[in-house]
Copies of this chain bind each other. A is one copy, B any other.
Amino acid sequence: MKDPEKSLDPQLWHACAGSMVQIPRVNSKVFYFPQGHAEHSLSFVDFSSSPQIPPLILCQVADVKFLADAETDEVYVKIMLIPLPNSELDLEGDALLTDGSNTVEKPASFAKTLTQSDANNGGGFSVPRYCAETIFPRLDYTADPPVQTVIAKDVHGDIWKFRHIYRGTPRRHLLTTGWSTFVNQKKLVAGDSIVFLRAENGELCVGIRRAKRENGSSVGSYGGFSTFLREDASNKMMRNGTGKVRPEAVLEAIALAAGGQPFEASFYPRASTPEFCVQATAVRAAMRTRWCSGMRFKMAFETEDSSRISWFMGTVSSVQFSDPFLWPNSPWRLLQVMWDEPDLLQNVKCVSPWLVELASNMPAIDLSPFSPPRKKLRIPDHLDFPLDGQFPMPSFSGNPLVPSSPLRCFSDSVPAGIQGARHAQYGLSLSDLHLNNKLQSGLFLPGLQRFDPCTRISDGIMMASHTNNKDNLSCLLTMGNSSQKEKSGNGKRNQFLLFGQLILTEQQLSSETVSEVITRKSSIDGISDKTKDSSDCSGSALENQSSPEKSLTAGFLWNRDYRTTELCMDTSHCKVFLESEDIGQTLDLSVLGSYEELYRKLANMFGVERSEMLGHVLYQDATSAVKQIGDEPFSAFMKTAKRLMIRMDSGNDGVGRQWLTTIQTAKSGLDGPSKRGPLGIFA
């Protein structure tokens, strides 16, 4: 109990850590990401004197200690890891073992975010009825009033007593005596959460989850680090609250890991940075996908009050190393993303592939304004692409338990977009993202800016989209409505039709074709160096699992084709995709001549009354600024609009459903998009 290294009840630990957190089991295999570890330390880790470090290291989990900070009660884990030789990469058995952990039953627990009254006023706590009835000991309602003393153990094993009374008109459950002591000792404030949990042995446990405090001197950032420390007594709780991993500890761990020595790493699940020890099966599965820009995905986040999980839709804007200088070849935060709701997620600019779940089995349309900022990865603008539909598309194998077999086709029994749902286990909370509103401007130390490579990159994207705004506009509408998916997806078994056009899946293309096409096209254009550079990454579109690639650092095999894929998606021809749950609909604004026509078109597309839409259609321009439709001439709107958004359920204050409409400018050399419509490129 007084031993700070004493593991606490894993169930209480998980209840405090939040529903998104998944800790690998002992003996399972994980990939350790030094880059993620450094990020988790929330401070500058100086690798300048370190040798080149593999971006990911396969390890066996030797031990997991579920711990809690003695001062703040913040939960964390200490994971003992043993680096494995590359030959141990066979994860078949491991996947099964790991999955077994999911079958452990969750104990009855309840979390409540403290209200002002809970935290400030006369020392009482309103117990939600559900909590009182399912978590607390049975109360004798025949007494008048019904009272009992609730005894709960905290993460340190310390015992807290609360007077639990059922009184008032109407009757309600309250904690009175003992509560304010608890609040004061634990330094709880409104917004913090309390977790009650009935352990397997029947004991009642109590844990706390502190709110991510939003104060001027601290910022949270999923895109790099969450807490910028300033020496100020006022944010002591913040300092103590998260991010205890010191840079030296990271360097030590990395040094040991790189040397093949066992090492220890602490992970604070509430620190708002992604897990840096990831189940090897999950990583391998994620990297089996050939990621490319334009792919639609969803990603799970904890809601702001940590009570639920929200899914957010997004589009891969580019696929590139987040830090090619320090961590070349690292899949960590490989995907640069654009969110359908960028306001909420504005600081999540790149994510790791295993955190997202592909939203569709269909090829994605290229978001052509988003050309990658780095010359190295770009294909020349004038490189034309085959118009026969035979271009490379990503392979999908979201579920690590289902090995992707060559030419395997999707069956109707596996709903698209549900595959790979396990990915959802890794994620972040929404409140972290809200914190990021303060992230902008000059709060970063110059020396720390290197931690936010994504910001820099997306700036580049913004620049590109400005300069690439040509006259040809096509508009893609996505709708948060899964019913339409059936319409297009349930037709022929191995084919997808979009607006009458046959869409081929990657499995319907041979890999040879892909690389040949690229190589041939490159040499035709006479820019052999650059294409050599890219063609040597093209490899095979379908991974040969029996002979894993061994050339990558740390012996990890994953699909190195993504660069090729990226090249492909960069060209303006690869721009059609079909969404799963949220069907994307493309709207070519250039065929419309006025707002009136736009409203009519939208009304037709979604079956909503024109009157319902008035004043509720918003759009984003290339700078991501959200504007109201009608504020400027239609011609100007048409040129700058990138995405449309129709707010429904206007009676409510914005909580209603939102349909998102993504408008995409086309920069292709197509000569008559307005005549052929958005899918004309397939003609």
Chain A 223-265 per-residue mask, 1 if CB under 8 angstroms from chain B, else 0: 0000000111100100000000000100000000000000000
Cβ of A71: which chain B residues have Cβ within 8 Å of it?
A: 233, 236
- A1-28 residues with Cβ-Cβ distance < 8 A to B are 2, 4
Cβ of A70: which chain B residues have Cβ within 8 Å of it?
A: 231-233
Shortest CB-to-CB span from A253 to chain B, Å, is 15
Chain A 602-635 per-residue mask, 1 if CB under 8 angstroms from chain B, else 0: 0000000000000000000000000000000000
Bound CA span A233–B71, Å = 6
Shortest CB-to-CB span from A60 to chain B, Å, is 27
Bound CA span A2–B233, Å = 10
Question: A4, A231, A248: which has the most chain B beta carbons within 10 Å?
Answer: A231
Cβ of A230: which chain B residues have Cβ within 8 Å of it?
A: 4
Shortest CB-to-CB span from A436 to chain B, Å, is 24
Shortest CB-to-CB span from A236 to chain B, Å, is 7
Cβ of A232: which chain B residues have Cβ within 8 Å of it?
A: 2, 4, 70
Q: CB distance B231 to A4 under 8 Å?
A: yes
Chain A 80-103 per-residue mask, 1 if CB under 8 angstroms from chain B, else 0: 000000000000000000000000
Cβ of A231: which chain B residues have Cβ within 8 Å of it?
A: 4, 70
Bound CA span A2–B232, Å = 7
Shortest CB-to-CB span from A230 to chain B, Å, is 8
Residue of B nearest to A239 (CB): B71
Residue of B nearest to A71 (CB): B233
Bound CA span A248–B43, Å = 15
Shortest CB-to-CB span from A537 to chain B, Å, is 38
Bound CA span A355–B58, Å = 55
Residue of B nearest to A230 (CB): B4
Cβ of A236: which chain B residues have Cβ within 8 Å of it?
A: 71
Cross-interface CB contact of A248 among B2, B4, B233, B248, cutoff 8 Å: B248
Bound CA span A416–B64, Å = 66
Cβ of A4: which chain B residues have Cβ within 8 Å of it?
A: 230-232
Cβ of A248: which chain B residues have Cβ within 8 Å of it?
A: 248
Residue of B nearest to A185 (CB): B233
Residue of B nearest to A248 (CB): B248
Residue of B nearest to A251 (CB): B248
Bound CA span A4–B236, Å = 14
Chain A 624-655 per-residue mask, 1 if CB under 8 angstroms from chain B, else 0: 00000000000000000000000000000000
Residue of B nearest to A247 (CB): B248
Bound CA span A231–B266, Å = 16
Residue of B nearest to A156 (CB): B233
Shortest CB-to-CB span from A78 to chain B, Å, is 13
Shortest CB-to-CB span from A429 to chain B, Å, is 27
- A210-234 residues with Cβ-Cβ distance < 8 A to B are 230-233
Bound CA span A71–B237, Å = 12
Bound CA span A577–B232, Å = 57
Shortest CB-to-CB span from A95 to chain B, Å, is 37
Shortest CB-to-CB span from A627 to chain B, Å, is 39
Bound CA span A545–B248, Å = 45
Bound CA span A4–B239, Å = 15
Bound CA span A2–B248, Å = 28
Bound CA span A70–B4, Å = 26
Bound CA span A230–B2, Å = 10
Cβ of A233: which chain B residues have Cβ within 8 Å of it?
A: 70-71
Shortest CB-to-CB span from A89 to chain B, Å, is 32
Residue of B nearest to A232 (CB): B70
Bound CA span A233–B70, Å = 6
Bound CA span A233–B4, Å = 10
Residue of B nearest to A69 (CB): B231
Residue of B nearest to A240 (CB): B236
Bound CA span A158–B2, Å = 37
Question: A2, A4, A233: which has the most chain B beta carbons within 10 Å?
Answer: A233
Bound CA span A99–B248, Å = 41
- A57-74 residues with Cβ-Cβ distance < 8 A to B are 70-71
Bound CA span A70–B231, Å = 7
Bound CA span A233–B240, Å = 12
Bound CA span A233–B156, Å = 11
Bound CA span A70–B239, Å = 13
Chain A 40-60 per-residue mask, 1 if CB under 8 angstroms from chain B, else 0: 000000000000000000000
Bound CA span A71–B240, Å = 13
Shortest CB-to-CB span from A591 to chain B, Å, is 58
Bound CA span A4–B4, Å = 31
Bound CA span A236–B71, Å = 9
Cβ of A2: which chain B residues have Cβ within 8 Å of it?
A: 232
Shortest CB-to-CB span from A57 to chain B, Å, is 22
Bound CA span A2–B234, Å = 11
Bound CA span A231–B71, Å = 9
Bound CA span A231–B2, Å = 9
Bound CA span A2–B4, Å = 34
Shortest CB-to-CB span from A68 to chain B, Å, is 11
Chain A 509-551 per-residue mask, 1 if CB under 8 angstroms from chain B, else 0: 0000000000000000000000000000000000000000000
- A428-469 residues with Cβ-Cβ distance < 8 A to B are none
Bound CA span A506–B233, Å = 58
Residue of B nearest to A3 (CB): B231
Bound CA span A230–B233, Å = 23
Bound CA span A231–B68, Å = 11
Bound CA span A236–B236, Å = 13
Chain A interface residues toward B at CB < 8 A: 2, 4, 70-71, 230-233, 236, 248
A-B contact pairs, 10 of them (CB 8 A): A2-B232, A4-B230, A4-B231, A4-B232, A70-B231, A70-B232, A70-B233, A71-B233, A71-B236, A248-B248
Taking A4-B230, A248-B248 as known contacts, 8 extra A-B pairs with beta carbons closer than 8 A to each other, sorted by chain A number, are A2-B232, A4-B231, A4-B232, A70-B231, A70-B232, A70-B233, A71-B233, A71-B236
Of all A-B residue pairs in the complex, the 8 with the closest CB atoms, nearest first, are A4-B231, A70-B233, A70-B231, A71-B233, A248-B248, A70-B232, A71-B236, A2-B232
